[in-house]
Structure 1
């Protein structure tokens, strides 16, 4: 028998129902005396899953945090347990479904990523885990707050800081019942029954972001909510066996790196929230998105495209000439033209002279030979440096090939340092950050130079032979994870010798090869810049 919902709860008149589910319903309501519009969550006090009672304990801990709803009142009236909270707008799930698209645009996803990580940072700082990250539990605000994403529904939340000892809760291998959602709960919690911690909230956020960018969503979300144990087991199996590089194929590499980072965290580790917010901000900036801290829906049209459209709009032409001659008269007139020898309208013999005056070139005639990128000759008379070379004369592949050849001939660390600096400049000269086969060829050459000191003209110790197995460095396995970039970036500044730098170059190549799209991130660029500086210091 359905329970009758009262017309009034506490000092609030209930209006229309905004939604209902397994554990209760939520209504729009109005304060009797002030007219304030709020939302009221109603739940039967005898419900087997008293989420209102749980939420009531967490709201005071979260008050005042950006994107955290205000709790205006709470209590029990008759058989109803009620919570009075801020009235918010639609959830991200509702917005996404109504858009009718099979994936969300990159600007919106980057904005969601930044705000979601910020919300989790607030919750975790106050000792609370959410444990139910999903699109339906993220809602946008109303009026002046319509660009802010709010976290809602703390019925599954938990304190990970013991209120008595003020220490992190202990890990446990005891069997646990599953608590969370089927789609985005972390692999450790959902498939392996592990105790949830901060890392699992972030992994759920990473899966949700990847889901939004994947056409049709993550594969295990496409068959709906499982109704049998067999269907649930299939979801867990699909989630457990899905590799990050497969999940993130075709989307920016930052999302794969974020997922791998979350899965690499230990149970009690504190995530680097600010680092990943900066990563997604930089990703948005690289794609020309501004004001990325604000969630704007519907997403604004890309500014670059609108500018291109404006540039190519045809200019208004002259008014049509009504008395124009017909085509036959025009053709007859052309046939009668006397095309004898005519004077040249433009004398181009002075072009080279003008160029020499403009750039202060030498008085030698300009040759059309191919310009060399590097030369062993110190004679600068035949290669004036004050005339800028024509742009884009060499392709990126050719430049990388030349750099690999130069690295093979290098005889000291200072030369290698300059070559690595040129390598970084070449990578940054184009918008594409993918490391091509020529780039890997350069890394292979650099690794061989650093791993084998005898290739230098003056080895540090010529008396030592290289016949012993322990002197030969073995490249690391291919399973080195993307998060190693941060470690490489930090440790390259203190590398004791070339052999240690060689190992880092090998790790860097393996990490890049395993990443989605083989792209080089800003941490990779920072590592290469640090490598160049360390080579200079070890010279």
Structure 2
């Protein structure tokens, strides 16, 4: 039975109600204070006979979350007449309020620093909840709030009325999946496709997918397309939202924003029902994205956002002047140098006096002698004529040696057919062994890019570390231009119209693989390489 908020008593337990902070389908929330010590709190009030008693559900969840960072504290609970109440920590603005404030300031989307900070903190909060066997099941901007001073830089998860344990307390097993039709539970905007559009049972993956959609929404001008017409009032309007969400491809949703967000969404959707997400990896990814963009202290959510970092021009300092040396001192130095006894000199570059003659064809067939690696390049070895031999070259590992040969075959290629063979061998070699792309593997991609783009030019290596970006004094590349991801490359390689287009795809593949965890080539990555070999044959 519904009640007007005017019928709610002004005092509940030891708390006096003050301003009403909000209301919704299931009840009201007030600012209140303790009658004895004056502590301010938030007090959630709900009719005891409400058809969806979310207060009761929350009351059971709070003890599981107490003490976790970014988790509100439950101070008290009880019943006053026809009303059930929860006394919880008083917090600041919700992210929904902050997002709307940002729109009022004339910004169509939130800044990258703020969204990276939100991503890191929300993933951390979900990690705490999931580690304590609790699903949130209603991730949205209105259910995330910042603390009051001195906690105003911490994001809190709130509203656990839809939360549920995913580990059965009696059997200690994960809740089962089911294909049985279920009523919709969650919110229209961010609930995962599996739960919202397909009626599947929620699990940890769905909390993270909802978070991913929320992050993308914040960076999209005007927000996600299905959020722009407001709450659906009819079943047909709701069906339109579900179709739009279900049909939206990650690459389309994330066009124009950093590729990390698309990769995160795809990762969430690849997880199986009972999989445990890799929270730490994705916190590190968004931390790295923020650092690459010049932001610091990213773990702190600062609102309003601080000014964007300005790139400082490189200051070239002149070398200190060397002290002058008088003529007598210089003469002594030259005399001392003349008395030095030096070992026989090595051949000078360009001096062909002692250069070995070109190998004859019959010599090329003889197997080369395998030698051990010396600790010193000066090991006293000599030719029969007494001339010192050059330092020994360390024997390469099998993988490095093979990749080096493949790189040379690319550089020696004169047509697309030869390049296709090299790419096919490169792909097969990695599939049979370690799938990690080493520096020799990146060197192969460098050579391939060079041949595809312009065989006459020298290119910068594709393998670049974040630390190198941080030490570079030039302006970092804007994150929003990083559009390439492996899944897109896999699709586009089959329709590439020229070698130049293929070169760009190879560059994107190298950059994305370099940033991935462990630099491991995925199934999509191998599919891209196989498609690349096939396309080279087709363009030959």
Using structure 2 for the length normalisation, give the TM-score. 0.64
CA distance, structure 2, for counterparts of residue 445 and residue 264 of structure 1: 36
Partner of 1:448: 421
Q: Contact 1:11 / 1:31 at 8 angstroms: preserved in 2?
A: yes
CA distance, structure 2, for counterparts of residue 258 and residue 115 of structure 1: 15
Partner of 1:381: 350
Which residue among 475, 478, 489 is the counterpart of 1:513? 489
CA distance, structure 2, for counterparts of residue 8 and residue 443 of structure 1: 81
Q: 1:381 Cα shift?
A: 3.0
Partner of 1:492: 435
Partner of 1:77: 80
CA distance, structure 2, for counterparts of residue 275 and residue 46 of structure 1: 44
Counterparts of 1:245-394 in structure 2 under 5 Å?
245-304=251-310, 307=312, 380-381=349-350
**2:23 is equivalent to residue 17 of structure 1:** no
**2:21 is equivalent to residue 29 of structure 1:** no
1:88 to 1:443, Cα distance in 2 relative to 1, 3 A: farther
Q: 1:6 Cα shift?
A: 1.1
Q: 1:85 Cα shift?
A: 0.4
Partner of 2:111: 105
What does the per-residue CA deviation read over 1:494-524, in whole Å, with 9 as the maximum and x for residues that have no partner?
99xx9xx99xx9xx99546159994525445
Which residue among 175, 181, 186 is the counterpart of 1:175? 181
Q: Contact 2:8 / 2:83 at 8 angstroms: preserved in 1?
A: no
Counterparts of 1:373-452 in structure 2 under 5 Å?
380-381=349-350, 414=400, 417-418=403-404, 448-449=421-422, 451-452=424-425
Which residue among 91, 95, 107 is the counterpart of 1:88? 91
Using structure 1 for the length normalisation, give the TM-score. 0.64
What does the per-residue CA deviation read over 1:102-142, in whole Å, with 9 as the maximum and x for residues that have no partner?
10000000000000000000000111100000000000000
Which residue among 166, 172, 178 is the counterpart of 1:160? 166
Which residue among 58, 63, 71 is the counterpart of 1:60? 63
Cα RMSD (Å): 3.9
**2:241 is equivalent to residue 235 of structure 1:** yes
What does the per-residue CA deviation read over 1:221-258, in whole Å, with 9 as the maximum and x for residues that have no partner?
00000000000000000000000000000000000000
CA distance, structure 2, for counterparts of residue 5 and residue 248 of structure 1: 46
1:13 to 1:417, Cα distance in 2 relative to 1, 3 A: same
CA distance, structure 1, for counterparts of residue 95 and residue 218 of structure 2: 10
Q: Secondary structure at the match of 1:104?
A: coil
CA distance, structure 1, for counterparts of residue 295 and residue 66 of structure 2: 31
Which residue among 127, 133, 139 is the counterpart of 1:127? 133
CA distance, structure 2, for counterparts of residue 294 and residue 42 of structure 1: 32
Q: Secondary structure at the match of 2:202?
A: coil
Q: 1:10 Cα shift?
A: 0.5
What does the per-residue CA deviation read over 1:147-183, in whole Å, with 9 as the maximum and x for residues that have no partner?
0000000001111000100110011111100010000
Q: Secondary structure at the match of 2:422?
A: helix
CA distance, structure 1, for counterparts of residue 209 and residue 52 of structure 2: 25
Partner of 2:196: 190
Q: Contact 1:20 / 1:26 at 8 angstroms: preserved in 2?
A: yes
Q: 1:414 Cα shift?
A: 4.8
Partner of 1:363: none
Partner of 1:202: 208
CA distance, structure 1, for counterparts of residue 79 and residue 53 of structure 2: 12
Q: Secondary structure at the match of 2:435?
A: helix
Q: Secondary structure at the match of 2:512?
A: coil
Q: Contact 2:117 / 2:298 at 8 angstroms: preserved in 1?
A: yes
Q: Contact 1:512 / 1:520 at 8 angstroms: preserved in 2?
A: no
**2:45 is equivalent to residue 42 of structure 1:** yes
1:295 to 1:420, Cα distance in 2 relative to 1, 3 A: farther
Task: Mark the runs of 5 or more structure 1 residues left unpaired by the alignment.
Answer: 312-377, 383-411, 423-437, 454-472, 476-486, 532-539
What does the per-residue CA deviation read over 1:274-301, in whole Å, with 9 as the maximum and x for residues that have no partner?
0000000000000000000000000000
Q: Secondary structure at the match of 1:249?
A: coil
Q: Contact 2:435 / 2:521 at 8 angstroms: preserved in 1?
A: no
1:525 to 1:205, Cα distance in 2 relative to 1, 3 A: closer
1:304 to 1:381, Cα distance in 2 relative to 1, 3 A: farther
Q: Contact 1:443 / 1:509 at 8 angstroms: preserved in 2?
A: no
Partner of 2:323: none
Q: 1:47 Cα shift?
A: 1.1
Partner of 1:138: 144
1:234 to 1:268, Cα distance in 2 relative to 1, 3 A: same
